[in-house]
Amino acid sequence: MSRVTRDALGYLFIIGFCILMLAWAIPTYTPAYPGYGAPPALVPNVAVSVMLVMAVVSIVRVLLAAFLNQPIPPEEREFPEDVDDDSGFTQVGRVNLVHLVSIMVPCALLVVAIDYVGYAIASFAFLMLLQFIIGSRRWLQSIIIAVVLVSVLYIIMRYGFGVPVPGPQLFE
C-alpha cells in the first residue's frame, strides 16, 4: 500500500470516527443543558468538528491531487524507511501489525492473568515471554532479569510505597 493511500484511509477512519462521535456518542453520553453556562456538548462538538474539518480538507486535497494528476512531494509520497532518511526525527513509517500484536498480546495476557495467578507468577511468565519475543535466547540471563525485576518492583511497591501489588497477595 502506498503512503498516499494509507494516509487517505487514515483520514477516512477519522471522518468515520468523528461522524460516530457527533451523531451518537456526544448526544448519548453528554448531560442535558441545565439552562445556564455553555451547553455540556459544546466543547466536545467543537473539538470533534475541528478534527472532522481537518480530515475532510486533507482527503479533498489527496483526491484533488489524484484527479488533477498533480505531483505529490516525496515527503508525502514515500516512507522514510524506503529512502533511508536519517536526517530528521520523523517516526512516520509502515505499521508493522505482526510486531505490534507480538508485544501487545503478552501485555494483554498479563493484565488478565495477574488477577488469577497473582503478580509474581504472571509477571515472571510475562517477562520470560517478552524477552523471548524480543529475541533473547540466553535463558539464564532472561531468568535472572525476570526474577530480579519482579522482586525489586515487589519490594518497591509493597514496602517502599505500601501499595498492594496487583492480583492476589502472596505474603499476607
Partner 1 sequence: MEMIFAGLLDSISPQSLMFLFVGVTIGVVVGAIPGINGPMAIALFIPVTYYMTPLTAIGFLVGLNKGAFFGGAVSAVLLRTPGTPEAAATSWDGYPLTQQGKGEKGLRMALYSSVAGDLLSTIVLIVIAAPLAAVALFMGPSEIFALISLALTVIAGIGTTSIGRGLAAAAFGITVGLIGTEPVTALPRLTFDVYQLGAGLSLIPVAIGLLAFSEILLQLENIKRQGAAAKCTHQFSKKFEDRFIGLKEFFANFKTLLRSSLIGIGVGAMPGLGAPVASFMSYDQAMKRSKHKEEFGKGRLEGIAASESANSSVVASSLIPLFVLGIPGNLAAAMLMGAFMIHGMQPGPLLFKENAQLMYGIYGSLVLASLFLLLVGRFGLRLFCRAVNIPSMVLYPIVIFTCLMGAYLGKSSMFDVGVMLTFGVLGYFMRKFDYSYVAFLIGFILAPEWERALQQVVIISENDPFMFFQRPVAMALMVLTLFVVVRTFWKSIQEGKKKRAAPAAANSQQ
Residue ranges in 119-138 that form contacts with partner 1 under rule CB under 8 A = 123, 126-127, 130-131, 134-136, 138
Q: Which of 1, 67, 91, 172 binds partner 1 (CB under 8 A)?
A: 91
- Note whether 105 binds partner 1 by CB under 8 A: no
Chain-centroid distance of CA 92 in Å reads 15
Q: Is residue 100 at the binding interface for partner 1, with CB under 8 A as the rule?
A: yes
Report in angstroms the alpha-carbon separations of 119 from 25, 67, 124, 168, 172: 36, 57, 8, 7, 13
| Site membership for partner 1, residue 20 (CB under 8 A) | no
Q: Which residues contact 67 (CB under 8 A, 6 or more apart)?
A: none
User: Which residue of 67, 159, 161, 171 would you call a contact of partner 1, by CB under 8 A?
Assistant: 161
Q: C-beta of 60: minimal distance to partner 1 in Å?
A: 11
Site membership for partner 1, residue 168 (CB under 8 A): no
Q: Which amino acid is at 47?
A: A
- Exposure b/e, 90-120, CB count within 10 A at least 16 = b: eeeeeeeeeeeeeeeebeeebeebbeeebbb
**Eight-class DSSP state of 82:** T
Q: Which of 5, 19, 23, 99 binds partner 1 (CB under 8 A)?
A: 99
**Binders in 39-68 for partner 1, by CB under 8 A:** 40, 42-44, 47-48, 50-51, 54-55, 57-58
22 binds partner 1 (CB under 8 A): no
C-alpha span between 80 and 94 (Å, rounded): 9
Cβ distance to partner 1 smaller for residue 19 or 76: 76
Give least dist CB 46 to partner 1, A. Answer: 8
Among 60, 81, 83, 139, binds partner 1 (CB under 8 A): 81
Identify the DSSP state of 28: H
Half-sphere exposure of 131 (CA within 13 A, CB side): 19
